[in-house]
Amino acid sequence: MTDAHYHSIRFDASACHGCMACLRVCPTQAIRVRRGHAVMIEDRCIDCGECIKVCAKNAVVPLTASPSGLGGYDYTVAIPSPALYTQFDGEVTPGTILQALRNSGFDEAATLSWSCGAVTHAIELYFAEYRGPGPLISSFCPSVVRLVQIKYPELVDQLLPVLSPREVAAREAKRKAAADTGLPLDRVHAVYVTPCPAKMVSIVDHPGMEASYIDSAVGISDLFPLLAPVIREVQTSHAKVPETETAAGLGWAFSINLPSTLPAEDTLSVWGLPNVLRILDDIDKGKLQRYTFVECHACFEGCVSGALTVENPYVARARALRLQQSLPKRDLVDAAEMRARHERGEFRTTVPFAVRPPSPLGRDIVTAIARMQERDGIAAGLPGIDCGACGSPTCATFAEDVVMGEAEQAQCVVLRQGQLEEQLARLAAQGAAATQERGREIR
Ligand code: SF4
Ligand code: SF4
């Protein structure tokens, strides 16, 4: 089921004290503060989780699954994001973490390394055949996909139509579990251990696919307190690096491992939504056609800085680099098998990426144009300092909110202060005139 307005976060009005910190960081201007509480404009939110990172009151709630709710399935496979490997202090190896997941109630824990390698091959094979306009834009970060769908509808056909490593890993893990246990595939439950809420969006909304192979997601921050003591128990017995791990696979925690056939000078790697917005603007204007591929990450340090991670992202990144040195540099993927599976379309998205522009200003073009003119007229009379005190992030969004009946012009404190000052000056002038008049009468 696709839900065009599904979101992986919600605002808790009872915890929110209207400080506006979230409103200031939201990259798509999807937040308003009304009557003292933050509210979301659903068709603008891209589920990036920036609001979670800045809310000191925990009033932005991620809608990931609770670890306690994961029992009750016939067979549950945990699929940890490579970012999970970077969250634990000390010499904790991926082998220890996978075993800790098994000891914490999951029937199996599957690594993403093979899938990351397979997707790198799939990108290479796709580019060998691709003859369309460039550059192609990576589609593995669900917030970037939503951003393109909402703000850059002309670019949806440039989203890379290759499945993400997490989807490939879930599919392969489910097939293996079904083969090992004799259970039907739909009785195997795949749980992604996620560094950000946006991955929930790709499970429910699954852009580019008829359905996601992942059944639910649990946040790293929710699992961390349960996993940490188990890790201490299994640390020595499972410290050996599993055969299934690779340095390249772990690297996906902060960057896509691009095939060597895509020369670095023909690709761009962009981290952080303000930078992603700038690059997408340029692609939209046709400026970057000489590049073949643009890798976009909503978070500044890649997945290690997702809103549901627990470690300082810079420490996590350094830890990932150290861990990479201890992991084998080998390629786990059999090139001939990969080519055959690529030809069967096993690594391609199955439906086109849809566009989903925000609601227009009016239902018909005449109303929309009239409202646009009204909005521009209101905006021209506003101070233009984007103070946010009205509860809208900018004067332009406030003007739009007024036109749409969601705010009143009187909410602009600067205008109100100006009007009050004018009123005071008028009253003062009237008072002075009256005093002068009385003086003349007395004389
Ligand atoms: S950051 Fe946003 S959600 Fe959190 S308390 Fe402030 S206004 Fe409310
Ligand atoms: S998740 Fe991102 S886009 Fe959505 S409201 Fe929060 S900051 Fe804005």
Q: What is the pLDDT of residue 316?
A: 95
Residues sharing a CB contact under 8 Å with residue 160, sequence separation 6 or more, in sequence order = 123, 126, 136, 137, 138, 139, 293
CA atoms within a 13 Å half-sphere pointing along the CA-CB vector of 190: 28
pLDDT in tens, 375-416: 999 999 888 899 889 999 999 999 999 999 999 988 888 877
pLDDT in tens, 90-99: 778 898 999 9
Q: Which atom of ligand 1 approaches the CA of 18 most closely?
A: 7
Q: Which atom of ligand 2 approaches the CA of 22 most closely?
A: 7
pLDDT in tens, 49-73: 999 999 999 999 999 888 887 778 8
pLDDT in tens, 332-353: 889 999 999 999 999 999 999 9
pLDDT in tens, 278-316: 999 999 999 999 999 999 999 999 999 999 999 999 999
Which residue minimizes the CA distance to atom 6 of ligand 2? 51
Continuous H helices in 137-272: 142-151, 165-181, 198-204, 220-234, 247-251
What are the DSSP E strand ranges found in 41-117? 60-62, 75-80, 108-109
pLDDT > 70 in the chain, percent: 97
Distance 250 CA to ligand 2 centre (A): 27
Which stretch of 103-117, 364-378, 392-406, 407-421 has the lowest confidence by average pLDDT? 407-421
Residues sharing a CB contact under 8 Å with residue 279, sequence separation 6 or more, in sequence order = 268, 270, 288, 294, 296
pLDDT in tens, 201-236: 889 988 899 999 999 999 999 999 999 999 988 877
Q: What is the pLDDT of residue 431?
A: 79
Residue 184 pLDDT exceeds 90: yes
Distance 52 CA to ligand 1 centre (A): 9
Q: What is the pLDDT of residue 1?
A: 45
Give the Cα separation of 348 and 286 in Å (integer): 26
Domain boundaries, the chain: 9-62, 67-343, 361-443
Please indicate whether residue 280, judged by its CB atom, sits closer than 6 Å to ligand 1: no
Helix (H) or strand (E) holding 4: none
Q: In the chain, count of helices (H) and strands (E)?
A: 15, 11
Contact 217, 192 (CB under 8 A): yes
Residue 82 pLDDT exceeds 70: yes
pLDDT in tens, 188-197: 999 999 999 9
Fold of 9-62: Alpha-Beta Plaits (3.30.70)
Q: What is the pLDDT of residue 234?
A: 84
Distance 336 CA to ligand 2 centre (A): 43
Label each residue of 326-368 as H, E or C.
Answer: HCCCCCCCCHHHHHHHHHCCCCECCCCCCCCCCCCCCCCHHHH
Residue 112 pLDDT exceeds 50: yes
For 377, the token pair is: 């007229």
Which residue minimizes the CA distance to atom 8 of ligand 2? 26
Which residue minimizes the CA distance to atom 3 of ligand 2? 45
**Average predicted confidence (pLDDT) for the chain:** 91
Q: What is the pLDDT of residue 438?
A: 79
Give the Cα separation of 388 and 396 in Å (integer): 11
